[in-house]
Amino acid sequence: MSDDTKDPREVAPFLKESKLTAIDQKEQELEDARREQELSENLDDGKDITCGFWIFKGPTLQSFATETMYVTIYGIAGCFMAMCFAYFNGTITTLEKRYKIPTKTLGIISVGNDMSTMFASALTGYYLRKVHRPRWMGLGLFTIVIFCLLNCSLHFIYGAGEDALKLTRDHGAYQNLSGHLTSSQRDQKLCMNETSSCIQEDSVWVPQMILFLAQFILGIGQALFLVVGLAYMDDNTTKSKTPAMLSFSTFLRMLGPAIGYSLASLCLRWYIEPTAEPLIKPEDPRWLGAWWIGWLILAAMTALIAFVMTLFPKELPSSKARRLKYRKAGEPNTTVEMDFSLGYMWHSIKLLATNKVYVYNTIASILYFFGYMVYWIFTPKYIETQYQQSASMATMATGTVALGFSAAGVLLSGFVVSKYKPSARALAAWNATVDFLTVAGILGFVAIGCKGSDELSSMATVDGSCSVSCHCEYVHYAPICSPDNVTYISACHAGCTAKTKDQLERTLYTGCDCINPTNLTTGIELQYAVDGACHVDCFNQFLLFLGVMCFLKLVGASSKSTNLLIALRCIPPEDKSFALGLGSMVASLFGFIPSPIFYGWLIDKYCLVWGKTCSNKGNCWLYDTVSLRYALNLAAGTCILLGGFMNIVVWYHAKHLKIFDDEKAKSLEDITLKDLGSTLQLQKLDENI
């Protein structure tokens, strides 16, 4: 029988066998692919979970590849990063004086990190999802090292400066005491009969550009460290341990501002040129502390922790073991691929724009940030100006004294929310209450003035017509004190013509025609002045201000978690990351970036004495303290008051918002790391709280 006439019953077994063979072949291909994948994973196990690189690896080092060790190192690194932010804020006034930078310009410089962080965070979160994340975190920390070295480099490029060196014994600023002064001394101190020439100096733009570049680089390093680090923590820690891990790392990071301000206070007690003997004390407004030393310390510490961070493996062994166990158990993959198309993004924005709780809560946060930013950045300068405290004392009070109150506020609010599980309306009502209490405290700042400090501002116009012929426009700020306890900007402004020393080795200026001898029994013979500003005692007012500031720290920190809970619960889970990211960007655009610039401009507006040079207005030496106190605090209070009204609107619309589940109440610790890592507002608060 030919093949064409075969019985179908004879052909069927061959067809069935052929079909079974194809199925078996397909199954065999799938099995081979699975085994190949498992083999690939097993081959990668040694590489992905191995600590260290090059010669820096081994069994001893591998024993540290644990969740607890990572969270500890991550928290310490975050502490060092927060120290850098705090140290910069603590040395702002010294940078102003040394490099003759207006406050508005320093405000622009300080937002450089916000600009770069805002854009770098989005790119980092999108492109660095499957890389060796600990090494990228280490790169981010090394970037912060560059930030520290760039700041410090200014001192090695420009030195201590002529103004600072003239106030040291080693450079002989006051050695010629016979009354026959050199031309340089006459230009700087005494009344002249002809117009003085302006002060020549190096380019003032180079230091400002270096400082801005350093801040911009800091923002990139911050984005690399925070975004990648939080994602690594979320992927490599047990979910049940997440709250404890998060709390521990946050606690370590909160130590950063206190340590950073303390380091700034310590460094500012030393003169800018440590090898020279200064002729003035730290309380003198002309004192320049050794601001640059702290950057060397911070650079060394950050470099060390950056190296340690790079030693962590691509994936922790415990995490990989759990992942393989879940895969073998056949658990489904719950990872949701996000749609990054512009259409989906625009659709999400429109949905969020109709979410009234989200919109008003975001506006309230921005108004609070905008109003309170001036106290986060310029509090040391405010204390120095209003209460005549040294830069070291102002920095210490800002960073360390109030830390305990901030920590107490965070812990207390966390306990109350976790225990009593208040409703959304209760949380919004507390946020509004905090805003109104903050406004009340700010009004207290307005009332807490110092009469002696306010009287100093009058020295800029004392007998101004008298010193017109002395041509003092470009004379350096060098205050002197008359016998009737009036401070003059300089000996030139007092019309002095000679200089000598008394029996107490104090520098005296004599022949001061502009000093009014009225009510002095001995007449014109007392037209002299002592070097240095007249003593002003504002310590009691300073303590009162400090007490109000601690109160504001306490209540302000207590609203941090309540505001975040509303932000997390008012949006659907699938839109949470995008909503928080969008809120962070909006907060940066309208809060974090413009507010330092605005307040810097406002502070400069009330300057009475500028350190003028040939090419620059320079820094401000003396402010109208009364007007500045009113304008600065009322502007900040107005913004926060508007934020309080926005929280009332949130309270009205939050009537149906559920903060906790009915079946199983979620405590404050149930906020996931991805929720926290999606917003830069939290990091900004941790730096300044």
Average pLDDT rounded to a whole number, residues 206-231: 89
204 versus 22: the higher-pLDDT residue is 204
* CA–CA distance, 407 with 428 (Å, rounded to integer): 21
Predicted local distance difference test score (pLDDT) of residue 419: 81
Quickly state the pLDDT bin for 459 (edges 50, 70, 90).
low
C-alpha to C-alpha distance for 194 and 184, rounded to whole angstroms: 14
Provide the CATH number for the domain formed by 67-324+354-450+538-688 in this structure: 1.20.1250.20
Give 349-376 pLDDT, tens digit per residue.
Answer: 888 888 899 899 999 999 998 999 999 8
The pLDDT value recorded for residue 114 is 87
- Hey, which residues does 487 pair with through a beta bridge? 481
pLDDT of 8: 46
Give the pairing type, strands 498-501 and 507-510: antiparallel
Indicate the range of 179-193, 270-284, 439-453 predicted with least confidence: 179-193
Residue 469: per-residue pLDDT: 66
Residue 126: its pLDDT value, please? 57
Domain boundaries defined on the chain: 67-324+354-450+538-688, 454-531
Closest CA to 285 of 405, 168, 353, 385: 385
Measured CA to CA in angstroms, residue 57 lies from 60, 61, 67, 140 at distances of: 8, 6, 18, 22
Cα separation of the two ends of the chain: 96
pLDDT in tens, 56-66: 777 777 778 88
Beta strands 487-488 and 498-501 are unpaired
**For range 40-55, the mean pLDDT:** 62
Tokens of 286: 């002309």
Q: Average pLDDT of 129-136?
A: 80
Q: Which two tokens stand for residue 386?
A: 């209003």
Q: What is the mean pLDDT of residues 424-435?
A: 92
| The pLDDT of residue 68 | 84
Buried b (16+ CB within 10 A) or exposed e, 261-274: bbbbbbbbbebbbe
Q: How much is the average pLDDT of 16-34?
A: 54
**How much is the average pLDDT of 7-16?**
47
Q: Give the least confident one: 177-191, 358-372, 443-457, 605-619.
A: 177-191
* pLDDT for the residue numbered 203: 58
Q: Nearest-CA neighbor of 549 among 371, 432, 383?
A: 383
Of all residues in the chain, what percent carry a pLDDT higher than 90? 29
Condensed to tens digits (0 to 9), the pLDDT of residues 543-552 reads 999 999 999 9
Average predicted confidence (pLDDT) for the chain:
78
Which of 499, 405, 484 is closest to 176 using CA atoms? 499
Residue with tokens 């060397």: 296
At residue 19, the pLDDT reads 47
Ramachandran quadrant class, 549 (left: phi over 0; alpha: psi -120 to 50; beta: rest):
alpha
pLDDT band at 630 (very low <50, low <70, confident <90, very high): very high
* Residue 553: pLDDT over 70: yes
Contact between 564 and 659 (Cβ < 8 Å)? no
Between 569 and 545, the more confident residue is 545
When mean pLDDT is compared across 1-15, 70-84, 193-207, the lowest value belongs to 1-15
Q: Please give the pLDDT value at position 268.
A: 94
* Higher pLDDT, residue 132 or 684: 132
What is the structure's pLDDT at 565?
A: 80
Q: Which helix (H) or strand (E) element contains residue 677?
A: helix 673-677
DSSP-derived 3-state class of residue 402: coil
Per-residue pLDDT at 324 exceeds 90: no
- Judge residue 330's burial from the number of C-beta atoms within 10 Å of its C-beta, 0-12 exposed, 13-18 middle, 19 or more buried: exposed
- pLDDT of 80 over the 90 cut: yes
pTM of the model: 0.79
Whether the predicted pLDDT of 476 surpasses 70:
yes
Give the whole-angstrom CA distance, residue 238 versus residue 656: 33
With beta carbons less than 8 A apart as the criterion, state whether 280 and 80 touch: no
pLDDT on residue 664: 43
Residue 138 pLDDT > 50: yes
Asked if residue 41 has pLDDT above 60, the reply is: no
Decide which of 439 and 475 is more confident: 439
- Supply 107's token pair: 């405000």
Strands 507-510 and 620-623: unpaired
Q: Which comes out higher in pLDDT, residue 151 or 422?
A: 151
In eight-state DSSP terms, residue 644 is H
Q: What is the pLDDT of residue 557?
A: 83
- The per-residue pLDDT for range 632-676, each reduced to its tens digit, is 999 999 999 999 999 999 999 988 888 765 434 444 444 444 444
**Average pLDDT in the 192-199 region?**
56
Give per-residue burial for 579-613: e unless 16+ CB within 10 Å, then b.
bbbbbbbebbebbbbbbbbbbbebbbebbbbbbbb
Q: Which residue has better confidence, 439 or 114?
A: 439
CB-based contacts of 667: which residues, under 8 Å, 6+ apart?
417, 418, 421
